[in-house]
Chain A
């Protein structure tokens, strides 16, 4: 679908349901606080709910729970947002994929939806399928001009490499915002905030998590794959890698430490989620961005960022 059509279909409301990712809560809490803070600056209130759990679809595609078990679990999470009358904003490629795929599956097949609702009725909920589910990139890209106006700490002089992750673009090649082979939306967003782009060849390759491969074939498949990506990334010398999925964030961040520990190279590229980067540019308090929870230090990154601003002030002053 052409980008313009997707953008037209994307509805932005003043209040949206923030679907909290598991990795974003228990490993990188900055993703959730950063998005709540900067969306507030853009005039959008993100609402969360304690009734929301892990999306659940994850369990089906890793083969530990049948689709018949996770379908009601996913529908329950969707119903929580639906009861509040809100559209869903996801920060994780995984949550987005599972919620979207399962909701389409149920909406297209009324008998399946009915069975799911029989189970949900026993816990006092109902899934109607009336809300929209958005990936954060869709909403953020539509707000590009608003973001450009609100930038208080531009990213001038900083070089960023991008990593889109697999599931959003590949899995939704017909309905996603951009082309899966040569996407540019993140680059456009970074340039809108004043940053530069570090191009590298392995941009579109998987981070190495591979859904299950990080667990079942860590040494033979997952780690070599991450190493291959990181080697290419290092050659481009970016100040940071920008990702849109917490799993990619965890993989690229943590495996650098692991490879360093084993003496398989020297890696120290900070990994940052797009929402943290926008939070940084829009002047959200650095503590709230949660860089403390990252394995690769942001010390050099923030030092350079501050020095660029000091220089800019000297020139303008």
Chain B
């Protein structure tokens, strides 16, 4: 079967829900961050596929992908700063142990 838009959409959907599964099951902040990166990558794949197969006369998908990558980098840096600060205060980065604001 010749690979086309549907095949790439299949991959990006599968990658998205793999990320969602990781987000639900993991209880460690660093692994949750990894799941979020997978989700963002699946979105990038979607943008590039639509740009290539549906609107090859425009470059908008490319720009959205570049901006998403830049924002993902900023997000990862902020998240890791928060994780390190949390570890300093709790000696743990398990999300279930950070519960002062729970009740």
Q: Do A and B bind each other?
A: no
Residues of A within 8 A of B (CB): none
